[in-house]
């Protein structure tokens, strides 16, 4: 049964089978006319069944629902094409929308991972385990692009859109001033650290993420409604913890490179500490190696842009070393 968090605002737990995230928190605002669903789940039957059952228990018909998507990842976006009707307004952010418009499939990511040391014989296996590859949207419905600070009104709730790039280039949260809650997507999570991956030379996602944490820190938030795991109230404390986590991560990466031996992002990831139940790097699930390598690249990118390390781009595989040693 959906949990009513505020009058007319509910949380439906959407299962994510096989994922360490376990569930997606889909938030629903019931309106007199149209209602709003915030994030949907993967494009698979378990997610669709949970969504439709939850909406039915609240007393909402799918043809009277609009959808807001915090960001483009499949566990938030994938089900849209299955549940949207001709009457559905789908709100989405422009930076993530541009990625979809220019989508060339997963091949560029695969090549980029190989360029950063991911073993060629494991690349296809990693791709086949990627949730976006397995459970993404079937087709692309029309999207209504929203802007930073735009206000949406559903039921008794005014929701201010706050763009918080980092987890994705256009990740967007929703803030309600009356009740002082933040629907945070994957920007701020309580029990786990949002994964900040980099798969392009054109982005510095960790820098963007740190700036986005600073952007929302002074909001008078009483309660955070995250995309996964539990709702929490220690808002600023959690932001500071996440910030400090990445500062320590950057120091860890510098220390790993400190012996002067150039390493690829994949090699750096294999030496970083991860909160995963596996005896060693070789025992990591292949999908987790993919996410870990993307996260290692994001930390290496920020260190490179700050002049703290130097890449060697002349070889088929990019390697990194402390500044001035290559």
Domain boundaries, the chain: 3-104+138-242
- The angle formed by the CA atoms of residues 10, 15 and 19, to the nearest 5 degrees, is 135
The chain-wide mean pLDDT, for the chain, equals 92
Map residue 167 onto helix, strand or coil.
coil
pLDDT classification of 283: cutoffs 50, 70, 90? confident
Q: Are strands 9-15 and 3-6 parallel, antiparallel or unpaired?
A: antiparallel
Whole-number Å distance between alpha carbons of 256 and 262 = 10
The percentage of the chain sitting over the pLDDT mark of 70, rounded to a whole number, equals 94
pLDDT classification of 275: cutoffs 50, 70, 90? confident
Lowest mean pLDDT of 194-198, 211-215, 315-319, name the range: 315-319
Whole-number Å distance between alpha carbons of 276 and 284 = 8
Q: How far is CA 165 from CA 196, 268, 271, 320, in A?
A: 10, 25, 27, 26
The reported pLDDT for the residue numbered 109 is 83
In CATH, the number for domain 3-104+138-242 is: 3.60.15.10
The reported pLDDT for the residue numbered 126 is 66
Cα end-to-end span (Å), the chain? 59
The reported pLDDT for the residue numbered 224 is 98
pLDDT at 140 over 60: yes
Lowest mean pLDDT of 75-79, 152-156, 231-235, name the range: 75-79
pLDDT classification of 105: cutoffs 50, 70, 90? low
| Residues 48/83, Cβ–Cβ less than 8 Å | yes
Q: The pTM is what?
A: 0.93
| Residues 74/42, Cβ–Cβ less than 8 Å | yes
The reported pLDDT for the residue numbered 139 is 57
């Amino acid at each position: 049964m959906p949990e009513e968090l505020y009058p007319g605002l509910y949380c439906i737990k959407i299962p994510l089978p096989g994922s360490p995230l376990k569930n997606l928190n889909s938030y629903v605002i019931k309106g007199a006319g149209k209602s709003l669903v915030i994030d949907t789940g993967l494009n698979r039957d378990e997610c669709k069944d949970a969504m439709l059952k939850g909406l039915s228990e609240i007393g909402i018909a799918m043809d009277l629902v609009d959808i807001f998507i915090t960001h483009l990842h499949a566990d938030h976006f994938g089900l849209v094409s299955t549940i949207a009707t001709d009457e559905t307004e789908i709100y989405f952010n422009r930076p993530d929308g541009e990625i979809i418009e220019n989508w060339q499939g997963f091949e560029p990511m695969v090549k980029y991972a190989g360029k950063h040391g991911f073993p060629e014989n494991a690349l296809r296996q990693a791709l086949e385990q990627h949730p976006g590859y397995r459970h993404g949207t079937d087709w692309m419905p029309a999207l209504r692009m929203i802007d930073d600070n735009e206000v949406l009104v559903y039921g008794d709730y005014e929701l201010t859109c706050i763009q918080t790039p980092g987890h994705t280039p256009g990740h967007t949260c929703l803030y309600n001033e009356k009740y002082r809650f933040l629907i945070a997507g994957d920007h701020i999570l309580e029990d786990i650290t949002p994964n900040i991956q980099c798969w392009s030379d054109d982005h510095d996602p960790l820098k963007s993420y740190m700036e986005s944490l600073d952007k929302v820190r002074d909001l008078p938030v009483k309660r955070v409604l995250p995309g996964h795991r539990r709702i929490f109230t220690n808002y600023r404390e959690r932001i500071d913890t996440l910030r400090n986590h990445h500062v320590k991560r950057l120091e860890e990466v510098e220390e790993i490179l400190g012996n002067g031996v150039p390493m690829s992002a994949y090699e750096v990831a294999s030496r970083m500490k991860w909160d995963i139940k596996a005896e060693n790097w070789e025992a990591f699930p292949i999908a987790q190696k993919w996410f870990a390598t993307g996260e290692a690249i994001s930390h290496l990118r920020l260190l490179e842009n700050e002049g703290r390390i130097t890449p060697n781009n002349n070889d088929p595989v990019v390697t990194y070393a402390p500044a001035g040693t290559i």
